[in-house]
Amino acid sequence: MIRDEDIKNVFKKYRTIAVYGMSKNEEKAAHYVPSFLLGKGYAIIPVNPTSDEIINLKCYAGLKDIAERIDILQVFRPSAQVPDVVKEALDRKKARGDIEVIWLQDGIYNEEACKLAEQAGIIFIQDRCMMKEFKRLSPKGE
């Protein structure tokens, strides 16, 4: 069970977020949530095989293509696709030693993926919005 203190620690400790399924559409959470986090000082790495660039940031087709260290993998994909995303993250973790947290957006959850991630020592947060949680837990209520 993820506690508020655990989530606060994630926000404090980890600063680079790969956004799997980031959208060019400004009206979608997969666009405005990472944009919000970028404005709060987090490094955002868009992952979307159909785009070259989102919010003036280079977009990557998959996790293996990213040279930078990834702290958090934020996932905006349907729940049924999450195990495959987590398996890709586990392959990267084995190869690169990064990805400390996998965070599934509000409405996205998958217990199989949760077990896979937790067995690999990855913090797994599901069915929560990073922007809402940041605002809720921020001392200034931002």
Map out the domains of the chain with their CATH numbers: 4-71+85-137 (3.40.50.720)
Q: Is 62 exposed, middle or buried (0-12, 13-18, 19+ CB in 10 A)?
A: middle
Q: What is the per-residue pLDDT across 66-89, written as a single tens digit (0 to 9) for each?
A: 999 999 999 999 999 999 999 999
Alpha-carbon distance of 82 to 134, in angstroms, equals 23
- Map 3-37 to HEC letters: CHHHHHHHHHHCCEEEEECCCCCCCCHHHHHHHHH
Mean pLDDT, rounded, for 42-71: 97
Proportion of the chain above pLDDT 90, given as a percent: 95
Q: How confident is the model at residue 141 (pLDDT cuts 50, 70, 90)?
A: low
What is the secondary structure of 69-94 as a DSSP string?
--SEEEE-S-GGGHHHHHHHHHHHHH
Position 1 scores a pLDDT of: 78
Position 26 scores a pLDDT of: 96
Mean of per-residue pLDDT scores for the chain: 96
